[in-house]
């Protein structure tokens, strides 16, 4: 009842003191996870997930009596998140137990921040140690640890946008048109999205190179980093893949919504439908034929054979049209 009076996405619970784990779903759609305490009846953690994020839950792991981890998978515009619930011991506990808690917390924490501490970041700047009575070293240590995590999360959001707001609006309109079944409008918006994305990436590339030149950094490294991190829209650039995924879902009697909720990968659906990728199958056949010509029964170096270019022959990489017969016949005669 208290949770319904506030707006929340995920609420962390501590000191639950349960001896058995609990996973319950309420009639309103909220989902509750509770971990276990130690043998003394101390500790225990859990989370309460709101209805709008319940379908994104991947797992909840009880890492220790004072540490829990909630994983949320990506769904639409909501990114994948990993949320930790930590309950630090007070100064009345032994130093070994306090040190073990922080070591476990540091070990389980991900190497890069993936938690959006929006509310925490806005409040962390106003915190003062004097507002809490009986402040001790352990509390100050936990507060400093959370402040560092908030700063790292805030720094990750400071990354400049690669796509403009106009392009993002076009992508949103394309999604709305696709959901409404207006395929003609979807096709038109997809073309506009491709053009807008290309222009945004072009402007972003020029800005990255200009910043590297002004800072005296390597232009080659900046160009390489941009090529590795630029945004690629798979659906408009590879419509064949989108159609193939749709056909596989129809064959298996599932929908995109069911696939997302169940966390099923497209590769798993492809294995179940027994459909082969034409391009991948052609490449594999080419490699296998190279091994067959070389009288090999395994794939030890057939890829090197199929991609090998002879020294004295100028041609494109790959097997020749005569399937190596002319080349090897000439080599054997010599």
| pLDDT category of residue 119 using cuts at 50, 70 and 90 | very low
Supply the Cα-derived Rg of the chain in whole angstroms. 28
pLDDT of residue 33: 85
Model pTM score: 0.33
Q: CA separation (Å) from 12 to 47, 73, 85, 87?
A: 5, 18, 6, 10
Give which of 58, 151, 141 is closest to 105, Cα–Cα: 141
Q: What is the share, in percent, of the chain residues with pLDDT greater than 90?
A: 0
Q: Is 280 left (phi over 0), alpha (psi -120 to 50) or beta?
A: alpha
Model confidence at 106: pLDDT above 80: no
Q: What is the pLDDT of residue 324?
A: 55
Q: How far apart are CA 334 and CA 326, in angstroms?
A: 12
Q: What angle do CA 231, 235, 238 make, to 5 degrees?
A: 100
Residue 128's pLDDT is: 45
Alpha-carbon span 280 to 286, nearest angstrom? 10
Question: Which of residues 123 and 162 earns the better pLDDT score?
Answer: 162
pLDDT for 263 equals 84
| Average pLDDT across the chain, whole number | 71
Residue 182 predicted with pLDDT over 70: yes
Split at pLDDT 50, 70, 90, the class of 118 is: very low
Residue 26 has a CB neighbour count (10 Å cut-off) of 12
How sure is the predictor about 131, in pLDDT bands with cuts at 50, 70 and 90? very low
If phi > 0 it is left, if psi is from -120 to 50 it is alpha, else beta; for residue 33 that is beta
Nearest CA to 10 out of 111, 98, 83, 65 is that of 83
Domain boundaries, the chain: 160-237, 238-275, 280-333
pLDDT at residue 214, rounded to an integer = 78
Q: What's the pLDDT tens digit per position in 62-88?
A: 777 778 888 888 776 677 788 888 777
Strands in 45-49's sheet, in edge-to-edge order, are 10-14, 45-49, 31-34, 22-25
pLDDT of residue 10 exceeding 60: yes
- pLDDT per residue over 257-291, tens digit each? 888 888 888 888 888 887 777 777 777 777 777 66
Q: DSSP per residue over 13-27, as a string?
A: EE----SS-EEEE-T
């Amino acid at each position: 009842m208290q949770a319904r009076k506030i707006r929340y996405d995920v609420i962390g619970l501590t000191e639950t003191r349960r001896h058995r784990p609990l996973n319950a779903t309420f009639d309103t759609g909220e989902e509750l996870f509770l971990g276990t305490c130690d043998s003394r009846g101390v500790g225990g953690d859990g989370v309460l997930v709101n209805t709008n994020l319940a379908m994104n839950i991947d797992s909840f792991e009880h890492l220790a009596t004072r540490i829990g981890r909630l994983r949320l998978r990506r769904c639409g515009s909501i990114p994948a998140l990993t949320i930790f619930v930590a309950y630090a011991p007070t100064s009345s506990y032994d130093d070994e137990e306090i040190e073990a808690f922080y070591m476990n917390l540091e070990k389980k924490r991900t190497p890069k921040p993936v938690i959006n501490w929006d509310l925490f970041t806005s409040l962390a700047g106003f915190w003062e140690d004097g507002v809490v009575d009986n402040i001790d070293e352990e509390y100050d240590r936990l507060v400093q640890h959370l402040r560092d995590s908030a700063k790292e999360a805030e720094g990750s959001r400071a990354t400049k946008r690669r796509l403009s707001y106009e392009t993002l609006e076009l992508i949103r309109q394309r999604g709305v048109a696709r959901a409404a079944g207006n395929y003609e409008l979807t096709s038109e918006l997809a073309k506009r999205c491709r053009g807008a994305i290309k222009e945004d990436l072009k402007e972003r590339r020029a800005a990255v190179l200009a910043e590297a030149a002004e800072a005296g950094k390597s232009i080659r490294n900046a160009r390489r980093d941009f090529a590795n991190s630029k945004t690629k829209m798979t659906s408009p650039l590879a419509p064949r893949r989108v159609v193939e995924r749709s056909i596989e879902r129809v064959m298996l009697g599932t929908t995109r919504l069911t696939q997302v909720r169940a966390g099923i990968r497209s590769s798993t659906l492809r294995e179940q439908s027994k459909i082969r990728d034409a391009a991948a199958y052609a490449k594999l056949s080419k490699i296998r034929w190279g091994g067959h010509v070389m009288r090999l029964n395994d794939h030890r170096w057939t890829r090197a054979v199929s991609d090998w270019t002879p020294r004295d022959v100028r041609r494109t990489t790959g097997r020749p049209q005569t399937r190596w017969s002319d080349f090897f016949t000439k080599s054997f005669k010599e």
